[in-house]
Amino acid sequence: MTNIFEKFNSLNVLIIGDVMIDSYIWGKIERISPEAPVPVVRVTKKENRLGGAANVALNIQSLGACPYICAVIGDDSDGDNFLSLLKAQRLSNEGIIKIKTRPTTVKTRIIAHNQQIARVDAETERNLSSSNTQLVLNKIKQIIADHRIDAIIFEDYDKGLITEELIDKTVKLAKEIGIITVVDPKKRNFHAYKEVQLFKPNLKELREGLKIDIDPLNIDQIEQAVERLKKQLGAKTVMLTLSENGVYVSSVSGNKHIPAHKRDIADVSGAGDTVIATTALCLAAGLNEFETAEIANLAGGLVCEHVGVVPIDKARLLREVDDL
């Protein structure tokens, strides 16, 4: 696999999706508040990290490839902070659009004694206006024209950047040029991703999208649900992530269930970002969907060993792949 991992270094990936700041407040709990029955957190550290689609970009970067993000932020201090974080990570801001009428998404996690005790979200979930969607489409076309793009990732967090119009026009453009499209979906646009290369829902998203109950241990139920989804979307491959039960892959080449590897799980935050980033690069590097799922499954498990959202360690992933 060393040659494949080296090939990542020559790949360019466009990530279209909802970006955010993952803000962390670390502290200690030593007493209960006299004002209300809640713990008092004595702050020991604060940290801001790139989140959402920007964390996908960090994973692409960590794997050696070059990411380009196309997203919107607010024309606010949090937006300025986001751009500073991009610069600090040496990530391009050429696809970032500031919009005055929207706030920058910030998710603040409060962590004490290695456990997340609360999360505070500042955001909007309104869809972009048609005129702002056109601005994003223009950015997408510009990036594709200026750079050789090997794969496009839709990283959908239901925050309003990705609309049906954006999906339809971008997928058509990608098909015309021959660019791989992979999707990490959410509920709102679940059925809008027609004819993409790979669609990667988790079990909760599949249940909500198809409005059916699915037993994660019943492979027959999973197979039937995934086949139904694949036909509805016209997707070449569906890769269903099943958390501790691994991943299930279905394509024209067949079906395969890949069990999870045993891990000391500290935090599942950001694991989906790692999986979709690894998936896009493996497909773009020429691996088939089953080899891709094996490696992406490993990558997702590895980042769960860390508290907070962190990108994948390429060298460690390669060692684990070589041990398969």
Active site (catalytic) residues: 273
Contact 258, 249 (CB under 8 A): yes
Q: For residue 199, what are its two tokens?
A: 């669609």
What gap in Å lies between CA 313 and CA 96, rounded to an integer?
26
Sign of CA dihedral 120, 122, 124, 128: negative
State the Cα–Cα distance between residues 180 and 283, nearest whole angstrom: 8
> Is the alpha carbon torsion for 215, 216, 219, 222 positive or negative?
positive
Structure-token pair, residue 308? 């907070």
Taking the CA atoms of residue 220, residue 226, residue 228 and residue 230 in that order, the dihedral angle to the nearest 10 degrees is -150
Cα separation, 16 vs 19, in Å, equals 9
